[in-house]
Amino acid sequence: MLVAVIAAIVVGIILNSWGWGIATFFILMFIFIWVVSWIFGSSIKGKVKVNEELEELLNKLETIGKIKDSLPLNQRGWCNILGLYVQIREAANMSRLQAGAKLNSNIDAWQDYSSTELSNKWIVKKYNSGDWERLVEPTLEIASWLDTHGGLHEEYMDSFNRAIQVFDKEGHLELPE
């Protein structure tokens, strides 16, 4: 906004017309709002309808993200060991959940806790179903195991890595007791 105000003043002075200065201000504000809405999208309207199945998936991903954030920094990477990356960020009565491959999220969702109308309801901006969804249950199991054990300690390292190798080959996960 400051850029638009300064540009409006400069244009007004250079052209000796405050009308052009005001027009410059509104044009720059329109461009700014358009760019911001294009980058961040609308946080009020969801683009994907959230049914019970999708809400359950979102709740599992939220649990993974919260457990991951509660672990020590050097332990958080173990939640990504199967290739599903979950991030949850909370600020100003809102939380944002993203999950998917390392550099490409397949789901992008928001929760707004400040509004009574939208409280605890997911607003899904992006959802691409696919193979990544089969990793949600085992990743949740790993995150819960790490939470229960306070991270991955040296005594479990070999058996934990074997369990991951078995999952990669056979598709089932059996974590150490």
pLDDT in tens, 22-64: 888 888 888 877 776 666 654 444 578 888 999 999 999 999 9
79 and 18: one domain? no
63 and 36: one domain? no
HEC assignment per residue over the chain:
CHHHHHHHHHHHHHHCCHHHHHHHHHHHHHHHHHHHHHHHCCCCCCCECCCHHHHHHHHHHHHHHHHHHHCCHHHHHHHHCCCCEEEEEEECCEEEEEEECCCCEEEEEEEECCCCCCCCCEEEEEECCCHHHHHHHHHHHHHHHHHHHCCCCHHHHHHHHHHHHHHHHHCCCCCCC
104 and 162: one domain? yes
Whether 46 is in a domain gets the answer: no
pLDDT in tens, 141-162: 999 999 998 888 889 899 999 9
Whole-number pLDDT of residue 39: 62
pLDDT in tens, 56-111: 999 999 999 999 999 999 999 999 999 999 999 988 778 899 999 888 899 999 88
| Domain around 73 | 52-170
18 and 63: one domain? no
29 and 74: one domain? no
pTM of the model: 0.70
